[in-house]
Amino acid sequence: MIKTLKFGGTSVGSAANMRRVAEIIVSEGARLTVLSAMSGTTDALVKISAAIRTGDSDTVHATIGMLRDKYSTCIEELLTANRTAALDRMEDALATVANEALTYRGELSDKWILAQGELLTSAIFCLHMQEAGHRAVLLSSPEFMHTDPEGKPDTAKLNRELTRLVAEGDPGVYYIAQGFICTDAEGHLSNLGRGGSDYSAALMGVAIGSDEVQIWTDIDGMHNNDPRVVDRTFPIRRMSFDEAAELAYFGAKILHPATIQPCKEAGISVRLKNSMEPQAEGTLISDAEENAMDFHAIAAKDGITVVRIASARMLMAYGFLRKVFEVFEKYRTPVDMITTSEVEVSLTIDSTCRLDDIIRELSPFGSVEVDRDNTIVCIVGCIGYQHVGLAARIFDGVKEVPIKMISYGANHRSMAILVATEHKKQTLQALNDHLFPA
């Protein structure tokens, strides 16, 4: 069985964790392993980029110093024969980041800086694999992970290059690559966005003809609710691609939303595992029939803004919604939920970077109202319209919570409600207690 494994930042967040990851890779017989940066690295690099933009040199140097301490500690604990090489690699990377602070080139520098975490982490880890006596080869993801002008991965190039490097390579070699990072259409070092390491692993797994893609984090698979917020959750052992996609899109942090589709199209199973407890069963996502339970899981997506447009021009009119959505398309802002009445349309977005432009262009259509700090709560399961009483059970569970929007009917797998983020914990716990009684 050909396997592609991806490990998140916490899984490679220390020397001890890296040793455990190496053992897992060997035990699973992974053909290709995709790594995130050590936990905390990307946040630190984002902080450096922000400090460069504001001219805060003290923060730049202090944060670089923190990263030096973090990585040198890991290297000292993890390596012996390759220690000097790893320390030199670290100093070169940090010195180059510091140099970027002097020659800042806007977004180009930001993306270059962010890429250094994955590059450095994977280099250190590969040295550890080699030092432990394994035949490990470090690949450079930006050499084969390219994106087009729209930011979409060039899968033809990826498939061609990884087939040459890995699929047709030595089966006794453990190939190590970086998640998240890529080369953009202009040939610059870039990335697939936060959480893009999962997506990278899915695309790479498809490219080398994997039978299974494994996503390793610090949680035992997909839970029925967010265990960081809700008491008495439990792991889900099997779920369909469609259910997993709904949960990932609506906030299940264990999996990036884009991960599912490439694997679904290629018929490759996705397994979610806990690197801290490798023997735990985890969650298998496959083409299996959807769970027969009425309610399967709940997820929440924060940072939601509601845009409401009220206009008498909507009454008995056609083409109005098309014009509204053309504005969001123009500013490349996806819409999550939408509800309409005769004279009002309400929709939600999770990115406000172009909100001022959107409001300006919507204003001629009618009055525009913006409502921030909301959360979408999505209930996933077998919620067919022919099933009597399921909606009533959901709403009975949140009868003490003010609900702003409701979305149902696009498919039989989910129902979504919008609440103020201040009511998120109350909503998730109430639904958990009501729909999944102990």
SS3 235: strand
Pairing label, strands 338-340, 344-349: antiparallel
Give the pLDDT confidence of 337-386 residue by residue, as tens digits: 999 887 889 999 999 999 999 999 999 988 999 999 999 999 988 877 77
262 is written with which tokens?
A: 């490439």
Check: CB of residue 434 under 8 Å from CB of residue 418: no
Helices (H), 331-371: 355-362
- Please give the Cα distance from 159 to 26 (Å, whole number): 24
pTM, whole model, 2 decimals? 0.87
Residue 407, strand partner residues:
416
pLDDT of residue 257: 79
For 162-193, the three-class secondary structure string (H helix, E strand, C coil) is HHHHHHCCCCCCEEEEECCEEECCCCCEEECC
- Please give the Cα distance from 370 to 355 (Å, whole number): 9
pLDDT of residue 288: 66
Q: How many CB atoms lie within 10 A of CB 426?
A: 13
- Please give the Cα distance from 7 to 195 (Å, whole number): 12
Q: Which residues of the chain have pLDDT under 50?
A: none
What DSSP character marks residue 291?
Answer: P
pLDDT of residue 316: 59
pLDDT of residue 289: 59
Q: For residue 265, which of 339, 213, 216, 343 has the smallest C-alpha distance?
A: 213
- Please give the Cα distance from 42 to 135 (Å, whole number): 28
Cβ burial, residue 50 (10 Å; 0-12/13-18/19+): middle
Check: CB of residue 216 under 8 Å from CB of residue 8: yes
